[in-house]
Amino acid sequence: MKSKIILGTILSFSLFLLGLMSYSCSPNNKIPSENINAVLSILEDDVSGIAWSNQSTVNLNSLSASNSQGIEFTSSGVVITDGGNYIFSGTLKNGSITVNTDEVVNLTLNKASITNPSGPALYIKNAAQTYVTLISNTKNFLVDGKDHSNPETAGAIYTNAPIIFQGGGSLDITSISFNGISSHAPIIMNNCALTINGVTTQKELD
Query: Which portions of the chain are predicted below pLDDT 50?
Result: 1-16, 19-44, 201-206
Torsion sign over Cα 23, 25, 27, 28: negative
Instruction: Give the length of the chain.
Output: 206
Q: 105 with 127: CB under 8 angstroms?
A: yes
pLDDT in tens, 134-148: 999 999 999 998 777
Segment holding 171, helix H or strand E: strand 170-174
pTM of the model: 0.79
- pLDDT of 18: 54
**SS3 for 20?**
coil
- pLDDT of 171: 93
C-alpha 186: how far from chain center: 12
Q: What distance in Å separates the CA atoms of residue 82 and residue 51, rounded to the nearest whole number? A: 15
Q: What distance in Å separates the CA atoms of residue 92 and residue 114, rounded to the nearest whole number? A: 5
Can you list the positions of beta strands (E) in 39-162?
A: 40-41, 55-59, 64-65, 71-74, 77-80, 84-92, 96-100, 104-116, 122-126, 129-134, 139-144, 157-159
- pLDDT of 6: 27
Q: What distance in Å separates the CA atoms of residue 56 and residue 52, rounded to the nearest whole number? A: 10
Q: Enumerate the β-bridge partners of residue 73.
A: 78
- The dihedral over CA atoms of 90, 103, 150, 74, expressed in degrees to the nearest 10, equals 50
